[in-house]
A and B are shown apart, each in its own frame.
Chain A
C-alpha cells in the first residue's frame, strides 16, 4: 500500500452521467401512444409521461390559451369537443379527397385547408395572448396617436392546423417526456406504423417527426415491433415457435402468423380487418350502460349514434368513463363499475358490469376475430394446432375473455403459450399487450444506435433500417434420431431431437447440447440424421360418459365425439448416420434412479448453408472427446 492517501471521491461530476442509449421507442397508435426507453436495469420499459400515464391518448385540445396533450386533452371531449383533435394519425399523408366524410362529431371536424389544395386540416379556436402593452413614455402624458388603444385581453382567433402539424405537436410532447426521464436529449426514435400504412403515409409521418425535432431511426411496422420484443431472451420461450400476433386496435384488427427461429422472424401470413375493432366493443358497452341508465332513471338516452346534443354529451361522458371500466375488468376478476356524474338531465349514474355480461357483449366481436384467425390459418396452410404461441397487442388484448374465447373457437392447443397462461399481463409485466410495441421499438432503436454510421457498420445500419432481407428457408424439419425400442418412441423408432425446424431462414447454424445415454459395455454413440415431415393426426375420442342419470335424460342425442389433435412426425429422408465410441463417458454417482448409468455430454452442430448443404458436427464436451464431422452436400 502507498503512503499517500487515495482520495475517496471528487467534487467533479463523472464524465459520463449514464450509459443508457439516448433513444426512444414510440408506439404511435391511432387512439393511444406509448413510449419506451432503456432503463438502468438494461431492459426496455414503457415509461409514463409527466401525467403518470403509460397509455397516452392521441389527442390534442385547445382551450383558451392552453394546449392540452394526451389524456388531459381527451377529457376536453365532453365540453370542448370542437377544439379537441383526435384520430389524426390515420389521416397522415392522406389527401382531403381521400378521407371519408363521416359524421365524426365527437371531436374537431376535418376540413379542407383554406390555403393548401386538397389538404385535410383542423380548425380550432384559441385565445391569442394579448400583445404586450405599448411602452409607456417617460412623460406622464399619453403619446399622441390616432391609433386605437390596443386591447389588453387575449383575442379569440381561429387557428388552422394541418394533420402533420398536430402529429408534430404530439410527437414532440412524447419525446420530451422520454428525454425528461433519461435526463438527456433524445437522439433518435423508432416509431411504429401499422401494416396498412402506404409509403406516402410513412413519409408524411417521418416528416412530422422531423418537424418535431426527432431523428427517425426507423419506421417499424407493428408486427416487427412485436417480434422485436418477443424474440428477446427474457421473453423466455422456446427459440423456435410459430407465433400468432393479434393486434386488437381501436379501429382495426391486424393478425400475423410469424415463424420465429432463434431470433429470426418472418411472416407466414398476415391479414388486417379494418371493419372490426375495439370501438365496437366500446359502443356496445356504452349502449349497455345507457340502457341501464334509462332503466334506473326513466330518462331516455339514445346513444351510438346520438342525435340530440345532450345525448351526444352523455355519450362522450360515457366513452371516457368506460375506459376505466375496461381497465378494471381487465385487471380484476370481479365486476367493474362505471360512474358518471350528471350523465343526463342532472342525474348521476353508477352502474356495474360483471365479467360474464361483458364477455357476452364482446362475444360477437370476438367471434369475428376468431373467424378471421381461422381463415388466415387456412390461407397460410397451417392448422390451429401448429400455433405455439399467441401474443396480444393493444389495450383490448388485455380483456381476459378474449383469450379464452379465441382459444376455444379457433381450436388452439391446450398448451398454447399466451401471456395470460403465463401470467405476465398483470402489473405491467412482460406480456402486457399495451407496452409490447413500444418496448420493441426501443429495443430496435438501441440496436440501431449501437451501430456506427460509416464503413461496414454504416452499411449494416442502412440494411437494418431498410426493408427486410429476402431469404431462402428450409421446408422440412431436420434432426437427430437416437434409435431405441422404447414404447413411447414407437412412431419413429427412437428418440427424436429436432435441430433445425422447418421454415428456418438460410444460412442457419444450430448448436444443441444434451446428454447421450450409453450402455455400460460398448459406450457407443449412434444416431441417424433425418428429415421429417410434421403433420397433425386427428383422433376421435368419445367423451367420458356422464355418470349423472338426470343429465343423461336431459339430452337424448348421442354424445358427440371429440376431436383430439396430435402432432405427428413422419420420416422423410435419411441424410446421414453417425456411429462412434464415446471417449469421455461418465457414470452417474449417488443413489438416485439413474445411479450407475453411463452417459456423456455432447454438442451437435448443424449448419445448413445458403445452397442447402448440411454440415453435421458431433463433439463430446470436454478435452479429448470424440469429434465426428460429416457433410450432406446439396447436389
Chain B
C-alpha cells in the first residue's frame, strides 16, 4: 500500500465551527462509464489493477490478503538465504539522508552507533555485534563498490543523472564508518563516547525535576523507573538494583537508596574536551588548554554527580514506600512500648482491644450498678435521717406538752 506523505499541517479548527449536515443521498458524481478510458498497459500499478480486476473482484482487502500471503511464502522460501550466518541481531537499519550526508570532519559530533546501524542496541552492543555491523556497512559503502556508478542509496537526485557520477564526495560516509568503528572498538574511547551518548543526553534533558513532579502529579514508579534504568549503565557495579515496586520490602528499599547514594559511576567527560591545538608550538598554550579541559571535566563530573544525587533525593522525598515503612516502624515502636512482642503486633492489638473493650464495658456496668446501689443507700439514709428527725421532734413536742400539763 502506497502512502503519500504530504508535508502540510492543517490549521486547527476554529472553536466556532459547527459541522454541517450532510444532505441525504449524497454520493460522488457518476464515474465515466467503462470503456470510456483505456489504461496504458504498462507499469507495476497497471499490474496491480489487473490483479484487482482479474482475481480479486475489485476488492482491495482481498488483494492485500493475497499479497501478504505471497510475501510470507517468499519469505519462507528465502528464509535461509542468509548463508546460515547469524548476524547476532544487528539487522539492517534504514539509512536516512541526513546520516549519509554526514561530514567526516565533524566526526566528534556524529552518532557512532547510528552510523554503524546499531542505534537499537547502543551501549548494549557487544564487540562481536560491532564487528558484524561494521563489516555490513563496509560491504555497502566501500568506495571501490561505488566507483564509476551512482549508488541507489544516495538519494534520488543523483538518479536523475543516471550514469553520471556526480557524487564527488563519495567516500565521505565511508570515512564516517571507519571513524565510528575506531571509536567503538577502542574500549576507552567507547567509554568516553558512551558517557556523552547523544541519545542519553536527550533523555537526561527530559528527566523530571521536583517541581514538575509535584505539579503534574506524575506517577512515581512509571516516571522514575526508566530514569534509574538509564543511569544504571554508568555503574561500575553491576547489576544495579532497580526502583522496585510499591510492595518492595524495607530491605529492598533501603538497599536501593544505599546503592544509589553510594553510586560509583564510570562516566567521564573527556569526549567534550576542547581540541588541543596540535599545530601550535607554544607549550603554554597546550598546558592552558589541558588545564581548562581538566577543570571542565571535573566540573561536569561534579554536576553529573549532583544531578544524580538530586534525583535520588527527589525520589526519596516522594517515595510512597518510605511513608509506609516509617508508619510500620512507629507502630512497631508503640507496640514494643506496650510490651507486646513486636513480631506480630497488628493482630494482637485487635484482640487486646476487644478484650479491653469488654473489660471496660464490664467495669462500666459494675460501676453503674455500684452507683445505683449507692444512690439507693443514700436515699435510705436520707429517709432514715428524716424519720429520725421527725421522731426527735415528735418526742420533744410530747415532752413539752407533758411539761405544760403538769
Contacts and interface: CB of A to CB of B under 8 A. Distances in A.
Interface stretch (B26-34, B230-238, B282-290, B378-386): B26-34
A601 B156 CA distance: 25
Given A267-B38, A515-B10, A612-B30, A430 B162 contact: yes
A607 B62 CA distance: 14
A399 B77 CA distance: 51
A613 B28 CA distance: 7
Nearest to A579: B19
B52 A473 contact: no
B404 interface: no
A265 B41 CA distance: 8
A364 B331 CA distance: 107
A468 B41 contact: yes
Contacts of B21: 577
Contacts of B29: 474-476, 531, 572-573
Contact of B28 (A43, A423, A514, A614): A614
B34 A470 contact: yes
Contacts of B49: 264, 469, 471, 505
A231 B45 contact: yes
Closest 5 CB pairs of A and B: A263-B45, A228-B42, A482-B10, A515-B9, A519-B12
B37 A483 contact: no
A156 interface: no
Given A43-B162, A460-B47, A511-B1, A612 B31 contact: yes
A478 interface: yes
B5 interface: yes
Most buried by B among A459, A471, A575, A576: A471
B46 A263 contact: yes
Contacts of A515: 8-10
A185 B35 CA distance: 40
Interface in A205-246: 218, 220, 223-225, 227-228, 231-232, 234, 236, 239
Contacts of B5: 512-514
Nearest to A427: B164
A469 B58 contact: no
Contacts of A227: 40, 42-43
B31 A574 contact: no
Nearest to B66: A456
B149 A41 contact: yes
Contact of B50 (A224, A460, A483): A460
A447 B151 CA distance: 22
B20 interface: yes
Interface in A166-222: 218, 220
B60 A574 contact: no
Interface stretch (A68-76, A320-328, A522-530, A536-544): A522-530
A359 interface: no
A522 B6 CA distance: 24
Given A473-B37, A574-B22, A511 B14 contact: no
Contact of A266 (B10, B38, B152): B38
A632 B24 CA distance: 10
Given A528-B20, A609-B58, A471 B4 contact: no
Contact of A429 (B3, B51, B164): B164
Contacts of A598: 12
Given A467-B38, A469-B41, A609-B59, 16 more contacts: A41-B149, A45-B163, A220-B41, A231-B42, A231-B43, A234-B159, A258-B40, A265-B40, A424-B160, A430-B161, A469-B50, A484-B12, A497-B10, A511-B2, A514-B7, A526-B17
A632 B11 contact: no
B53 A469 contact: yes
Interface in B126-180: 149-152, 156, 159-164
Contacts of A531: 28-29
Contacts of B12: 484, 517-519, 524, 598
Interface in B159-205: 159-164
Contacts of B37: 266-267, 470-473, 503, 505
A572 B20 CA distance: 15
A182 B33 CA distance: 45
Given A231-B43, A514-B10, A519-B13, A577 B31 contact: no
Contacts of A525: 13
B67 to A, nearest CB: 12
A221 to B, nearest CB: 8
Contacts of B274: none
Nearest to A493: B17
Nearest to A265: B40
B74 interface: no
A336 interface: no
Interface of A: 40-43, 45, 218, 220, 223-225, 227-228, 231-232, 234, 236, 239, 258, 262-267, 422-424, 427-431, 440, 443-444, 447, 451, 456, 459-460, 463-476, 478, 482-486, 495, 497, 503, 505-507, 509-519, 521-522, 524-528, 531, 572-577, 579, 594, 598-599, 603, 607-610, 612-614, 632-635
A143 B22 CA distance: 107
A574 B26 contact: yes
Contact of B44 (A45, A239, A447, A476): A447
A398 to B, nearest CB: 15
B6 A464 contact: no
Contacts of B59: 609
Contacts of B50: 460, 463-464, 469
A472 B10 contact: no
B55 interface: yes
Nearest to A516: B10
B58 A519 contact: no
Given A422-B160, A463-B50, A472-B36, A514 B6 contact: yes
Given A495-B10, A518-B12, A263 B44 contact: yes
Contacts of A464: 41, 46-47, 50
B60 A507 contact: yes
B42 to A, nearest CB: 4
A507 B56 CA distance: 11
A594 B8 CA distance: 13
Contacts of A632: 26-28
B264 to A, nearest CB: 34
B403 interface: no
A239 B5 CA distance: 11
A42 B6 contact: no
Contacts of A474: 28-29, 31-32
Nearest to B4: A512
A599 B9 contact: yes
Nearest to A517: B12
Contact of B161 (A427, A511, A514, A603): A427
A533 to B, nearest CB: 9
B38 A519 contact: no
A606 to B, nearest CB: 10
Nearest to A588: B9
29 contacts: A234-B160, A236-B156, A262-B2, A263-B44, A264-B39, A264-B45, A264-B46, A422-B160, A427-B163, A428-B164, A443-B42, A447-B42, A447-B43, A456-B55, A469-B38, A470-B34, A471-B39, A483-B17, A507-B60, A514-B5, A514-B8, A514-B10, A526-B17, A574-B22, A574-B26, A575-B26, A594-B9, A614-B27, A614-B28
B399 interface: no
Contacts of A440: 42
A67 B361 CA distance: 132
Given A223-B40, A440-B42, A507-B58, A471 B34 contact: yes
B23 interface: yes
A497 B6 contact: yes
B402 interface: no
Contacts of B3: 511-513, 603
Nearest to B161: A429
B48 to A, nearest CB: 8
Contacts of A236: 156, 159-160
A522 B43 CA distance: 45
